[in-house]
Amino acid sequence: MIKPMLGIMVTKYENRDHIIGVVKAAHRAGHPVSVFMTDEGVKFTRDREFLDLLSAFNVKLSCCDHNYKQFGFNGKIEGVYFGSQFDNALMLQKSSRILVF
């Protein structure tokens, strides 16, 4: 039986260790996790260790392409889906619980 999904929306470039801790706890409990990075949160796309840790726990990683470009970033990152706020809305709809950082 698949357990309810936890959605995490990351809007600020802070709380890295808390986000990782929540992901680990959800993984231990058997819950799938989806992370959507928007606003300052897109800066986490430049933190390879952060991305690798989340990927190790099978986290679905998405990023707002518009915000990514606003911060002057370009080029895609392996393991990260670049989409829009529509993808954020889909994550919110599919999640049983949402955390915002």
For the whole model, what pTM was predicted? Answer: 0.93
* Position 73 pLDDT exceeds 80: yes
Is residue 16's pLDDT more than 80?
A: yes
Query: Domain containing 60 — which CATH number?
Result: 3.40.1260.10
Mean pLDDT value of segment 54-70: 94
The percentage of the chain sitting over the pLDDT mark of 90, rounded to a whole number, equals 91
Are 93 and 7 spatial neighbours (Cβ–Cβ below 8 Å)? Answer: no
> In this structure, is residue 32 part of a structural domain?
yes
Residue range 42-48: average pLDDT? 96
Task: Average the pLDDT over 19-29 and give the result.
Answer: 95
- In this model, does residue 1 exceed pLDDT 70? no
The beta-strand segments (E) located in 1-101 are: 6-10, 33-37, 60-64, 80-83, 97-100
User: Can you tell me the mean pLDDT for 2-13?
Assistant: 94
Assess if residue 62 is contained within a domain: yes
Beta strands at 97-100 and 80-83: parallel, antiparallel or unpaired: unpaired
Residue 29 lies in a domain: yes
Find the mean pLDDT for residues 87-92: 94
Domain assignment present for 53: yes
| Mean pLDDT across the chain | 94
Domain count, the chain: 1
1 within some domain: no
Q: Is the pLDDT of residue 3 over 90?
A: no
Using a 10 angstrom Cβ sphere, with 0-12 exposed, 13-18 middle and 19 or more buried, the burial of residue 73 is: middle
CA 79 to each of CA 1, 3, 12, 55: distance values in angstroms, whole numbers, following the listed order: 26, 23, 20, 7
Domain limits at 92?
A: 6-100
